[in-house]
Amino acid sequence: MIVVMPTLTRAEAAERASLVDVESYHVDLDVTGDSETFRARTVTRFRARPGRATFLEFEPAEIASITLNGEPVPPSAAADGRLVLSGLAEENELVVDATMRYSNNGEGLHRYTDPADGSVYLYQHLFINNGGRVLPCFDQPDLKASFRVSVTAPADWTVATNGRLVSRDGGRWEFAPTERISTYLASLIAGPWHVRTDEHDGLPLALYIRATLAAQLDAQAAEIFEVTKQCLDRFHEMFEIRYPFGHYQQAFAPEFNFGAMEYPGLVVFRDEFVPRSTITETEREHRASVIAHEMAHQWFGDLVTMAWWDDLWLNESFAEYLGSRVAAEATRFTGTWTTFAMQRKAWGLRADQRPSTHPVAPAEVADTDQALMNFDGISYAKGASVLKQLVAWLGDESFLAGVNMHFEAHAFGNATLADLLGALSKASGRDLSGWAEVWLRRAQVNTLRLEVERDGDVYREVTIVQTAPDGYPTLRPHRIGVGLYDHVDGAVVRRELIESELDATGRTVLPELAGVRAADLLLLNDGDLAYAKIRLDDRSAAAVPLLLPLLTDSLARAVIWAATLDAVVDGERPVAELVTLVLAALPVETETVIVEDVLRATRGLVDRYATEETRPAALELLAQAADRLLAASPAGGSRQLIAARGLIGATVETGRLAGWLAGEGLPDGLVLDEDLRWLILYRLAVLGAAGVDAIEAELAGDRTATGEQWAARCRAALPDPAAKEAAWAAVVGDASLSNRLVELTAGGFWQPEQRELLEPYVARYFTDMPEMLRIRSGMSAEKTLAAAYPAVMVSASTRRAAAGLLAEPEVNPLLRRVVQDNDDDMRRALLARE
C-alpha cells in the first residue's frame, strides 16, 4: 500500500508557526513485531494560542489511542495524513499510541532484508514531509524541538539515533534528548549493524554498516576516520562554534534515496560508499567530498536551519561549496576543484538551462512538492559556484567573519536569506543586495565568449562578450581569469594570467592584452571561478586537439573539456569532433576524474546525438580511445580500471568480453572482481550475447544486495520481448519492488542498440507513468520517472508523445518536470543531428 503524505503549503506552515511553539517529542518505538508494521507511542509537548486549532502530520496504519491534555481525541481526527486538534491550551501534551507502516521506498521507516544472510535493517528518513509516517509531528523546518527516543528492538540488534545513548537493557534502548532540531533531521537506525568506533578531539566517532559488508568497512575504516578527523579539524578552524551535536556517527545504509543525509549526530550514507570491489581514486575523492559536505551541514542546516524551503540554498549551496573546499584543504584529495569543474558545475549549468530552471534562492516555494523538485543542480552546484565567486570578491576573512556572526545569532534556530546577507554585509562592509538580486533571485546562465583582434602576432584588442538567453535577459558581474598558454619544449604552460571584473554591460575589453604577443591558447575562465558557459575564440578552439594533450595544468584541462562538452550539447560542435578529440587527447590524460567524466559524457552524447548511421563508427572510435588508454595505464591503477570500464561500455567485441568474463586475456593488474564481472555481463546482455541463464548463474554466485541489483538491471537490458515486458511491468506496477531495484530495472531498460524492439514502449511511457505514481511517491518516484524515460529514442515522434502528455491539464508535477526537461534534452539532440 502506498502512503502519500499530503502537501504542506507555505501559507499553512506560516499560519501554524504563528500558533504553535514545539518543545519536545518523546518517541517510543517497538520494532519487534511483524514485517509490515511497528508500534509508535509519541508524547508531544507544545505551547499554543489558547482556544485555537491546528494539525500535525500523521499517517497511521491503526490508532490505539489519542489524548490531548488528558482528554481522549477520537481516531476520526486523523484523516488524509493529518491529525486535527482543536481547543488548544497554552501548554499542551499530546499522547498518541499507534501502529505505523514500514516502507520500501526510502521514506519514513525503511525496512530492508539483506539477501545474503536474511538480516533485517531499518533506517528512518523523514525528509521534507515524511515525518508523519513515523510519528505525529509538526513537520516543517521552523518548528524545531528536542527529540528523545526510546526503542524496543530484538536483543541482538544495535540501535543509534541523533541523541547520545543513555542506557541499554537487552533490546531496550534509551537515548538522551537532542538539541532543538527540525523534524526532517530526526534520525534512527536499527539492526544487527557492524560497528567501528574511534575518538577525535573529545568527540566520539562511530561507523555502522550491515554485517555482510563488515570486511569492507574494516578495510576502509581507517581512511574514512582519517578524512572525518581532518574535516572536523578544518571546520573547527573556520567556525567559532565547535561541532555542536555531541558525537559524530556515520551509517552506511542499504537502498538510501540520497547519496547521504546530514542528520545531526548520525549522518547516513548510501552503503555504496563502502564498496565491495576495486574503486578508483576519483571514487575515493568523491567519498571524501561527501563526508565534508555532510559535515558542513552540521552548521549550515542543522545548527542554523532555513525557515522554509525557499532558502534551501542556505543548506545545499554552502555544503556543496564547503564539501569541495574543505576536502581540498584538509585531506589528501587536493584536486576536488578539478572534479567540481568537470562534474558538479556541469550539472548546475545543465539544470539551469532546462524548462524547470529556477533561481538559486526563489522568492516563493509554494509547497513541499515544489520544494522536492528544487533539490537539483541549481540549489547544489550553481549555488556553490556562485558562493565560490562571492568568497573571492569579499575575501575569505570577511566571508568567514560573516558566517560566524550568522551562526552566533541563530544557533539552534532558523534563518533566512536576508539574515545571512545582513551578516556578510556587516562583516565585509559591502552591500550585497544587488549581488543577491542577479545571482540568487534570477534564473538561467550567461555565456562568455572571447572576441580577438590581432595585428600579426600581437593582440590589438581582446574583448569578453557576455550574452543571456531569450526570456532571461539578465547580464551579471563576473570575476574571471584569462590565461595565456604557450607551447614550450613539448609542454603547454601558462605564460600569464589576466584577472578581470566583468560588469553587466555585456562587453569588457582587456586593456592588459593590447600589444601583447599572441598566445598559442587563450583560455577564458582560467581557474574556473566564473559560473557561465564558456566559449573559446576560434583560433584557440582550433588548437585544442594539438595542445590539450600537452597542457600541464589539470584544472585548465578540465575547463577546456567542460567547455567542449557543453558546446556539443548546444549543437555548436558536432559529436564526431568530440570523439576525435577524445581519441587524440584522452589516452594521455593523467587526471582520473577527467578521464572518467569525459568517457561517461561522450558515451551519453554518442548514444543520443549520433544518428543511426553514424553511431557505430563513433562508438568504435570511443572504444579505441578507451583501449589506447588501457594499454597506456599502469597495471592495477585507477586509470586502468576507468579505461576498462569505458571499453566494456563502448565495445561490440562480444568475444573479447566473453573471454574477460572467463578470465582470459585480461590486462595485467586488472582485477576481475564481482562488480567488473557484472559490468561485462551487462554489456553482453545488451548485445544479445548473454541470456537469462548466464544472469541467473552469476546471481547464484553473488546472492547479495548488489548482486540482486545487477541482475535486475541485466534482465531489463536483454533484447528479448518477454524480458522487456516483464521489466516494464515491474517498473509500472510492482509495489513490492524496493526503490533501488525499480530504479535499476528502469535504468537497464532503454538501450540504443535495441531501438526497434523498444519502439512500442515510447507511447507506453506517457500512458503508464501516471499509473506508476499510484504506487510510488517522492524521490523514489522522481528517480524512477527519470530512469524510465525513453531518452535514447531520439525522434520527432517521441517529442510529439511528450507534448501530448504535457498538454493534459492534470499532470503530476513530478512527471511534468521530468518530461519537460527530458524533452528539452531531446530537442537539443535533434538539432545537433540536423
* The 3-state secondary structure of 620-659, one letter per residue: HHHHHHHHHHHHHCCCCCHHHHHHHHHHHHHCCCHHHHHH
How far is residue 102 from each of residues 33, 121, 289, measured CA to CA in Å?
A: 11, 11, 32
> Per residue in 192-221, is it b (16+ CB within 10 Å) or e — as a string?
bbbebebeeeebebbbbbbbbbeebbeebb
Percent of the chain with pLDDT over 90: 97
DSSP class of residue 275 equals -
When pLDDT is cut at 50, 70 and 90, the band that residue 834 belongs to is confident
Q: What is the pTM of this model?
A: 0.96
When pLDDT is cut at 50, 70 and 90, the band that residue 706 belongs to is very high
When pLDDT is cut at 50, 70 and 90, the band that residue 201 belongs to is very high
Average pLDDT of 255-266?
95
What tens digit of pLDDT does each residue of 354-407 get? Answer: 999 999 999 999 999 999 889 999 999 999 999 999 999 999 999 999 999 999
Identify the three-state secondary structure at position 748. Answer: helix
| Bridge partners (DSSP) listed for residue 453 | 461
Count of Cβ atoms closer than 10 Å to residue 542 Cβ: 11
Following CA atoms 511, 513, 516, 520 in sequence, which dihedral angle do they give, to the nearest 10 degrees? -160
Identify the three-state secondary structure at position 200. Answer: strand
- CB neighbour list of residue 803: distance below 8 Å, 6 or more residues apart: 823
What tens digit of pLDDT does each residue of 296-307 get? Answer: 999 999 999 999
What tens digit of pLDDT does each residue of 584-607 get? Answer: 999 999 999 999 999 999 999 999
Identify the three-state secondary structure at position 778. Answer: helix
What is the pLDDT at residue 530? 93
What tens digit of pLDDT does each residue of 15-24 get? Answer: 999 999 999 9
Cell of residue 679, nine digits: 559490468
What is the pLDDT at residue 634? 95
Identify the three-state secondary structure at position 789. Answer: coil
How far is residue 178 from each of residues 143, 152, 257, 302, 551, measured CA to CA in Å?
A: 14, 19, 25, 12, 52
Type of residue found at 190? A
What tens digit of pLDDT does each residue of 133-143 get? Answer: 999 999 999 99
Domain ranges of the chain: 10-192, 304-439, 449-530+532-562, 731-834
Report the distance separating Cα 93 and Cα 47, nearest Å: 9
Residue 1, pLDDT > 80, answer: no
| Bridge partners (DSSP) listed for residue 700 | none
* CATH 3.20.20.70 is the classification of domain 10-192: no
When pLDDT is cut at 50, 70 and 90, the band that residue 4 belongs to is low
Average pLDDT of 672-678?
97
What is the pLDDT at residue 748? 98
Average pLDDT of 54-66?
98
Average pLDDT of 487-504?
93
Specify the CATH architecture of the domain 304-439. Orthogonal Bundle (1.10)
Report the distance separating Cα 88 and Cα 832, nearest Å: 63
Report the distance separating Cα 227 and Cα 298, nearest Å: 16
What tens digit of pLDDT does each residue of 300-358 get? Answer: 999 999 999 999 999 999 999 999 999 999 999 999 999 999 999 999 999 999 999 99
Average pLDDT of 659-671?
96
Residue 5, pLDDT > 80, answer: no
270: left (phi over 0), alpha (psi -120 to 50) or beta: beta
When pLDDT is cut at 50, 70 and 90, the band that residue 802 belongs to is very high
When pLDDT is cut at 50, 70 and 90, the band that residue 773 belongs to is very high
What is the pLDDT at residue 228? 98
Average pLDDT of 494-508?
93
Contact (CB, 8 A) for 278 and 673: yes
Report the distance separating Cα 53 and Cα 20, nearest Å: 10
Q: CA-based Rg of the chain, rounded to a whole angstrom?
A: 27
Contact (CB, 8 A) for 347 and 331: no
The catalytic residues are 294
CA angle 343, 348, 351 (to 5 degrees): 120
DSSP class of residue 64 equals E
Average pLDDT of 506-512?
96
> Per residue in 629-650, is it b (16+ CB within 10 Å) or e — as a string?
bbeebeeeebbbbbbbbbbbbb
What is the pLDDT at residue 3? 52
When pLDDT is cut at 50, 70 and 90, the band that residue 503 belongs to is confident
> Per residue in 239-271, is it b (16+ CB within 10 Å) or e — as a string?
beeebbbbbbbbbbbbbbbbebbbbbbbbbbbb
Report the distance separating Cα 192 and Cα 196, nearest Å: 13
CA angle 44, 48, 52 (to 5 degrees): 115
Contact (CB, 8 A) for 285 and 593: yes
Average pLDDT over the chain reads 96
Cell of residue 688, nine digits: 544479445
Residue 2, pLDDT > 70, answer: no
Report the distance separating Cα 217 and Cα 204, nearest Å: 18
Average pLDDT of 189-205?
98
What is the pLDDT at residue 25? 98
What is the 3-class SS of 294-305, one letter each residue?
HHHHCCECCCEE
Cell of residue 513, nine digits: 592584452
What is the pLDDT at residue 777? 87
Residues belonging to the chain: 834
| Strands 82-85 and 188-191, bridge-based pairing | unpaired
